[in-house]
Amino acid sequence: MHPPRRAALGLLPLLLLLLPPPAPGAANKPTPCQRCRGLVDKFNQGMVDTANKNFGGGNTAWEEKTLSKYEFSEIRLLEILEGLCESSDFECNQMLEAQEEHLEAWWLQLKNEYPDLFEWFCVKTLKVCCLPGTYGPDCLECQGGSQRPCSGNGHCSGDGSRQGDGSCRCHVGYQGALCADCMDGYFSSLRNETHSFCTACDESCKTCSGPTNRDCGECEVGWVLEEDACMECDSSCVGCTGEGPGNCKECIPGYARELGQCADVDECSLAAKACVRKNENCYNTPGSYVCVCPDGFEETEDACVPPAEAEVTEEESPTQPPAHEDL
């Protein structure tokens, strides 16, 4: 029985190739609320597109007297409905077919009483969306209220949908359950009963109470408090107790203590050669060094080859002894 089993396994890659690929965007399938909102947006656009039309029969006055106003007519409704879904959009057409009677009832009977189609159709009738500032199955108010969710400084989880938990995801610079507090690196520039604004501190401050380096509560890494202001450490320092290379706590790589301050190490003058290839020149740079072949030298993996030697190596060397003349 083993050979047939191996044969079946051998067909597996072929079967996998024959399977249809996953539909593009399957992972980003729209929610029921998004589909409903999209249908309403297209319906509203259809109302705009047909706003200046009429029955088109040539005798508009007679037609409107006999058939009622085109503005409120079933003919206009049908024109709008026909433009809502592309023929290839299965989900849109499926939703339209299921909800066409609701849209017709709103158009013919309820439009004046409920002028906001989205609120009547998606929120109150189908119950797939919530009004802005509310969330979840029961459309509860977001944290901070429906008028200014999250103090206007964040996003309410599930805002406008039947999903989420109403918690706040704060914008950069804000924190707290209501996004009304400032993060480290920001200070409160305005706060009252309804509004809270946070502004970035000076780059020298980790915490602050105002916009300048004199308003720091704590200095940022690489800065030090001097005369009531955060001053930047010297570029040669890893931490410092004051300005200049003489107040470094430690030196950055490529620098070392010399006469009480961090000074550049000249790697090219050290006893241990920094550039190890033959004929190579060493050039010191701040905190480092570079190795370069002299002008005209050819660079190889382990040497800088002078021009004369390079030409010799490129010449074709004889592989056989010269032929002897017959004696």
| Residue 209 near residue 181, CB atoms below 8 Å | no
| Residue scoring higher pLDDT (14 or 199) | 199
| Residue scoring higher pLDDT (91 or 131) | 131
Task: Work out the angle at residue 73's Cα, subtended by the Cα atoms of residues 69 and 77, and round it to the nearest 5 degrees.
Answer: 145
Band of pLDDT at residue 310, cut at 50, 70 and 90: low
| Residue 117 near residue 129, CB atoms below 8 Å | no
Our measurement of the distance from residue 92's CA atom to the centroid of its chain's CA atoms, rounded to an integer in Å, reads 29
* Confidence at residue 133, expressed as pLDDT on a 0 to 100 scale: 96
Amino acid identity, residue 148? R
Q: Which of 46-60, 179-193, 199-213 has the lowest mean pLDDT?
A: 46-60
